[in-house]
């Protein structure tokens, strides 16, 4: 018996018509803001609690600014402004 013949909806479909408001890139809306590796407090917002870089679908960044952000985070890590991992993972 195929899915088309059954009375139940197919798996993976979402019910309802709820649409989430699209996320907007914070750096596109605020033209004066720039992504700089020398501001680790700004870059920490885009890291997970384990120190990983958050993906675009979570941050709402456009592709252009996500690439710049990734490079800035990597530079800050290399200069020891940001940690590569958090302390509870390192075991200190």
pLDDT in tens, 15-68: 666 777 888 898 999 888 889 999 999 999 999 989 999 999 999 999 999 999
CATH architecture of 26-90: Irregular (4.10)
Instruction: Say whether pTM exceeds 0.85.
Output: no
Instruction: Report residue 83 as tokens.
Output: 């940690």
Asked if 25 and 62 count as a contact pair (C-beta separation under 8 A), the reply is: yes
Which region, left, alpha or beta, applies to residue 91 given φ > 0 means left and ψ of -120 to 50 means alpha? left
Among candidate residues 87, 52, 86, the one with its CA nearest the CA of residue 70: 52
Which is more confidently placed, 59 or 89? 59
Q: Which residue is associated with the tokens 């899915």?
A: 3
């Amino acid at each position: 018996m195929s899915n088309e013949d059954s009375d139940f909806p197919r798996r993976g479909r979402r019910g309802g018509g709820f649409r989430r408001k699209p996320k907007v890139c914070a750096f596109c809306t605020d033209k004066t803001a720039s992504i700089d590796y020398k501001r680790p407090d700004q870059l920490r917002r885009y890291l997970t609690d384990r120190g990983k870089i958050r993906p675009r679908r979570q941050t709402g960044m456009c592709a252009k600014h996500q690439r710049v952000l990734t490079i800035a985070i990597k530079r800050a890590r290399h200069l020891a402004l940001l940690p590569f991992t958090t302390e509870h993972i390192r075991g200190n």
